[in-house]
Amino acid sequence: MRPNTADAEEILSKGENRRHAVEIERPDEKRQQKKQNDDLQLMYAAQQRSHYIAMGKLETDNGDLSLLGRFSKWLKLKIYQFEATYTLTMFSSAEKFVFYSILFLLTSLTMIACFLYLPHHIAFIANRAWFYVHGDNVDVVERTMEAVSELASAKLAAGQATSTSFTVAEKTVSIVREL
């Protein structure tokens, strides 16, 4: 049981044991302090809720999100994680604009360079690898066609050419072209 205000004043005035002395409570100060504590708790709860929503740990609806809604939620989560990882949350709006502008510029230049120059570079590297593995660039199709035509002309000159030898020569040429 707490002593009331009169008892506290009596204890203080008599100078009795100080550990029995209690503060005189003022109802206005107590209400104001309680209101401040409640406001702080509400602010903290709202901050935690927004954090959980951003992290995807708290559903804001029944989970019936469309594909676009889920993508939007995922994108917000990734933006939040990116800003938290690189401490962009402490930047002002102007600083964020400058940071994101530089990031966009560097990313877009890298992508343009990849799309314009990477295919040519890959083809160049593939040709080099072919040269290192197989030696000089020899056109196999051309050499095979020459050999088959020489064989066919030799057989024709000898009078042994038949229609089957020409079909075999044509099929050989088509198979070599596929390779």
pLDDT in tens, 52-100: 666 665 555 555 678 898 999 999 999 989 988 888 889 999 999 999 9
Question: Which residue do the tokens 């009331």 mark?
Answer: 4
pLDDT in tens, 147-165: 777 777 776 666 655 556 6
The rounded distance, in Å, linking the Cα atoms of 57 and 72 is 15
What is the pLDDT confidence band of residue 109, given thresholds at 50, 70 and 90? Answer: very high
Domain boundaries, the chain: 1-58, 62-90, 140-178
Tally of residues, the chain: 179
pLDDT in tens, 111-138: 999 999 998 898 888 888 878 887 776 5
Q: How many CB atoms lie within 10 A of CB 148?
A: 19
